[in-house]
Amino acid sequence: MKIAVIGSGISGLSCAWLLAHKHAVTVFEQQHYAGGHSNAVDVTLDGLRYPVDTGFLVFNEQTYPNLLNLFAVLGVEYANTDMGFSVRLPHENIEWAGSNIGTLFAQKRNLLRPSFWLMIKDILRFNKEAPELLIQAQKHQYTLGQLLQVGGYSKAFAEWYLLPMGAAIWSTPPAGMEDFPAQSFLQFCLNHGLLQVNNRPQWLTVKGSSREYVKRLCAGIGDVRLNTAITKVERSAHGVIVHTQTESLHFDAVVMACHSDQTLSLLADASAQEQAILSAVRYAPNKAYLHTDQSVMPARRQAWSAWNYYTAKTPDRQRPVAVTYWLNKLQPLPFSTPLFVTLNPPEPIEPSTILAEFDYAHPQLDAAAYDAQQKLSAIQGLGGVYYCGAWTGYGFHEDGLKAGLRVAKLLNANIPWQAIL
């Protein structure tokens, strides 16, 4: 079969790599690089040049089994990393980090704040009650905001801990987290060991950047066409026609491995059911800056963490989430100068420190998106068109890979490990 794969993120590349063992596969990518959110750039700093990841950063053995198996087959090496988290809310004059007792009380006045102690008490209570809360969330279809209200959790717990953590994980405005399905939130947190003090999973990062796995997948595919935007995909009596800006190509099947809204905009003949499912998932645009401006970090160096959530001095709960990733903490980089990626800074980054800028979009996984995910199988393969992407799960790398594996299996590819689908 001749198969086109549109999109070169983890879903598209993994699917194409598996299909290329049996079929003639062509990958189309509108960007100048393959990888999607696996976007590594070469940084020159402190007299050294080294590839740095700016999108996909971490994974673990416990909840990324397919990714670990893929890396084993590809011979991709990885190293341990850190996933500490800090919160800075200038309007509340609150700053803390969760790495240890010292970072928890890096701001000494937290010792004398009753609301801070109530937050800690509610964290422990939430962690303990999470399995029962999951049952209740499934039964009543609670949003996260409703669950917090029903559970009687404090405002400090919600606004200083849980909502910032969720907003940072899903790159979602804090207000949007209140509409997040509580069932999905709890299941994700329980699976990832986020609600336990002991036996948390060891987080990992790719040695030499995610470019290492991307280039191996591309080598196994062969025909990867960069800078090639698709203008239209239309089904015909004899297959599927893919239109670029310069030509129209015929394929037996097409795998849409891009965001669902992008997919819908490309389908020339989407059915009412396809339109309903693909339009149900909303996306939040996120502007990312690679830079060395330390003003985005907690005021107290002791509170500096791998992930750092913060707000403007006058917060707007509807504005995009602001979070800074301390890349030296997350990746084995050779630089001594602190290097950061910041999403949606509420105050401008010092221009002289900016090394690169990126535009990302992240799926907003509310109840409508969850419902669309459950219905996706009904449209898979209709007229030779298949769908995959991280938007079909929790929005992370393992979800994207899993979606690519599912479509590859539908097209009779052999997966060289016992895949968990």
How are strands ordered across the β-sheet holding 248-251? 230-236, 239-244, 248-251
Q: Identify whether residues 267 and 330 lie together within a single domain.
A: no
Give the domain range for residue 374: 2-39+208-281+366-411
Q: Identify whether residues 337 and 390 lie together within a single domain.
A: no
Q: Identify whether residues 160 and 289 lie together within a single domain.
A: yes
pLDDT at 176: 84
Q: Identify whether residues 199 and 215 lie together within a single domain.
A: no
pLDDT at 103: 84
pLDDT at 197: 64
Average pLDDT score over residue span 206-217: 97
Domains: count for the chain: 2
Q: What is the CATH number of the domain that holds 8?
A: 3.50.50.60
Q: Identify whether residues 189 and 102 lie together within a single domain.
A: yes
Q: Identify whether residues 274 and 354 lie together within a single domain.
A: no
Average pLDDT score over residue span 36-62: 95
57 found inside a domain: no
The Cβ of residue 375 has, within 10 Å, a number of other Cβ atoms equal to 12
| Number of Cα atoms under 13 Å in the Cβ half of residue 158 | 17
Collapsing DSSP to helix, strand or coil, 307 comes out as strand
Average pLDDT score over residue span 86-96: 92
CB 153 within 8 A of CB 122: yes
Q: What is the pLDDT of residues 147-178, one digit of tens each?
A: 999 999 999 999 999 999 999 988 888 888 99
Q: H helices of 255-333, where?
A: 260-266, 272-278, 327-330
Q: Identify whether residues 222 and 265 lie together within a single domain.
A: yes
Q: Identify whether residues 92 and 178 lie together within a single domain.
A: yes
C-alpha torsion sign, points 21, 27, 32, 37: negative
pLDDT at 188: 85
pLDDT classification of 358: cutoffs 50, 70, 90? very high
Q: What percent of the chain has pLDDT over 90?
A: 83
* Spatial CA neighbour of 400 closest among 77, 81, 55: 55
**Tokens 């036996």 label which residue?**
199
Q: Identify whether residues 271 and 290 lie together within a single domain.
A: no
Q: Identify whether residues 185 and 145 lie together within a single domain.
A: yes
pLDDT at 189: 87
pLDDT at 198: 65
Q: Identify whether residues 277 and 306 lie together within a single domain.
A: no
Arithmetic mean of pLDDT over the chain: 94
**Between 196 and 242, whose confidence is greater?**
242
CB 365 within 8 A of CB 170: yes
59 found inside a domain: no
418 found inside a domain: no
Average pLDDT score over residue span 40-57: 96
Copy the structure tokens of residue 70. Answer: 């893929």
Which of 1-10, 45-54, 199-208, 345-354 bottoms out in mean pLDDT, i.e. has the lowest? Answer: 199-208
- Burial of 409 (C-beta count, 10 Å sphere; 0-12/13-18/19+): middle
Q: Identify whether residues 400 and 370 lie together within a single domain.
A: yes
CB 303 within 8 A of CB 394: no
Q: What is the pLDDT of residues 64-89, one digit of tens each?
A: 999 999 999 999 999 999 888 999 99
318 found inside a domain: yes
| Residues 6+ away with beta carbon under 8 Å from 195 | 126, 127, 130, 189
Average pLDDT score over residue span 285-302: 95
Q: Rounded to a whole number, what is the largest CA-CA distance in the chain?
A: 73
Output the CA torsion 31→166→263→28 (10° steps).
Answer: 30
pTM: 0.91
